[in-house]
Structure 1
Amino acid sequence: MGKPYSVLVVDDHPLLRRGICQLITSDGDFTLFGEAGTGLDALTALNNSEPDIILLDLNMKGMSGLDTLNAMRQEGVTARIVILTVSDAKQDVIRLLRAGADGYLLKDTEPEILLEQLKNAMLGHRVLSKEVEDYLYELKEAADDNEWIASLTPRELQILQELAEGKSNRVISEDLHISEGTVKVHVKNLLRKANAKSRTEMAVRYLNQ
């Protein structure tokens, strides 16, 4: 491969965070973008630039992994965000994937498998630990039933309504007074939450709910 993938590690346990960082830097396909012990620190680290991958803990003091993920997507962060956690609870998996996570891995994952999964995430795949793979089917069923609409932020719902009217990104940006780039990020997140292959498919499902 060419340029190494940059990784931001977000975890509130210093020893574990340090170990993950050492693992990342041990593989020539990755470089360490930085590390953060809280969600707020992670958001601050993304002020001027962003990494290719964000490895995000779920259960952190203060700002949770879910809150951090939502804030990152709201800010327009386009990095691949992979959750790394001890929780294999179905509700956590579904909630995080609905919110826009690109993967959900458990902390007992073997180091070499973790690195391989991060590479798969950069190839555009949704990566999951085997223990939680079955929950993906329930996520797809929920998306088919339009339950995904309930997970949308107010801004995402606004954009979905505009898409359903057949408006282009440029027109939506003018209507909502936001940049066209921001609209593109929201559309990408909407497609992920809806598990839809195109904006047309997503709009039709919204109109037929």
Structure 2
Amino acid sequence: MADTVRVLVVDDDAVVRFGLTMMLRGAPDVEVVAEAGDGAEAIALVEAHAPDVVLMDIRMPGMDGLTATETLRRRPDPPQVVVLTTFDADAHVLRALRAGAAGFLLKDTPPEELVVAIRQAAEGRPVLSPEVMRRLIDRVAEGGHDTRAQAARRRLGLLAERERQVALEIGAGRSNAEIAARQHIGLATVKTHVSAILTKLDLNNRVQVALLVHDADLDADP
């Protein structure tokens, strides 16, 4: 990651965009490279400016933030996307996380927390606490649960046994350090397993791993 985190702000409300941009200007290592009013404009500006992080509103006219997130995350070298929302848990946020968003922020997040979250996303770390992650997965719609669980278990079956255990620990919201202690392995080994899990399951981040584990209805060993 470069010393300066390049950010694209996407929201259909010009006042919100202005407020976010002004807050971020106070951070010496964060640069707002552009602003977009909808998803289509966001995609074009990502092409033009190559931001590290996109702050993406969900509900916008034209191309919404969900479609834009899915499109951006399919790029060969995608930016990290952090969803902006006024809700702390809903189906729209879950869809964005499944598409590969790094996490989400409430629009009234204090400036200092916003900057920390942007730095965290730029480093490829999820912008989502374990508590919020658990609240979100509890809100997953129950329709088609059996089919979804079977499909998720088949995907987790691609993992070696130790990788599967690490995946279940991620599903429980545990950090790498906590996983290392519980599984009696080194921190570097945990990181290797996490990397292998993401590669084998074709996922972008550990939030997606946690959602897959939840879909499979599996728990880590106590």
User: What TM-score comes out, normalization by structure 2 length?
Assistant: 0.61
Q: CA deviation at 1:146?
A: 5.6
CA-atom RMSD in angstroms: 3.4
Q: Which residue of 1 aligns with 2:34?
A: 34
Q: Which moved more, 1:72-81 or 1:38-47?
A: 72-81
Q: 1:145 aligns with which of 146, 149, 160?
A: 149
Q: Do 2:24 and 2:111's aligned partners in 1 also have CA atoms closer than 8 Å?
A: no
3-state SS in 2 of match to 1:56 = strand
Q: CA deviation at 1:25?
A: 1.6
Q: Which residue of 2 aligns with 1:107?
A: 107
Gaps of 5+ in 2: 159-197, 211-215, 217-222
Which deviations, in whole Å up to 9, do the C-alpha atoms of 1:111-168 show, x marking residues without a partner?
Answer: 21111111122232111278843235557xx8x936569xxxxxxxxxx9xxx8xxxx
Q: Which moved more, 1:12-21 or 1:104-113?
A: 104-113
Q: Matched residue pairs, number?
A: 161
User: What TM-score comes out, normalization by structure 1 length?
Assistant: 0.65
* 1:118 has 2:94 as partner: no
Q: 1:195 aligns with which of 198, 206, 209?
A: 209
Q: CA deviation at 1:90?
A: 2.9
* 1:6 has 2:18 as partner: no
Within 5 Å, give how 1:119-198 maps onto structure 2. Answer: 119-128=119-128, 132-138=132-138, 145=149, 190-192=202-204, 195=209
CA distance in 2, matches of 1:18, 1:188: 41
CA distance in 1, matches of 2:19, 2:201: 31
Q: CA deviation at 1:84?
A: 1.0
Within 5 Å, give how 1:56-71 maps onto structure 2. Answer: 56-71=56-71
Q: CA deviation at 1:70?
A: 1.1
Q: Which residue of 1 aligns with 2:213?
A: none
Q: Which residue of 2 aligns with 1:92?
A: 92
Give the residue type in structure 2 aligned to 1:100. Answer: G
Structure 1 residues 120, 34: CA separation in 2 closer, same or farther (over 3 Å shift)? Answer: same
CA distance in 2, matches of 1:189, 1:11: 32
CA distance in 2, matches of 1:189, 1:61: 33
Gaps of 5+ in 1: 150-159, 165-185, 197-204
Q: Which residue of 1 aligns with 2:43?
A: 43
Q: Do 1:106 and 1:129's aligned partners in 2 also have CA atoms closer than 8 Å?
A: no
Q: CA deviation at 1:77?
A: 4.6
Identical columns (%): 36
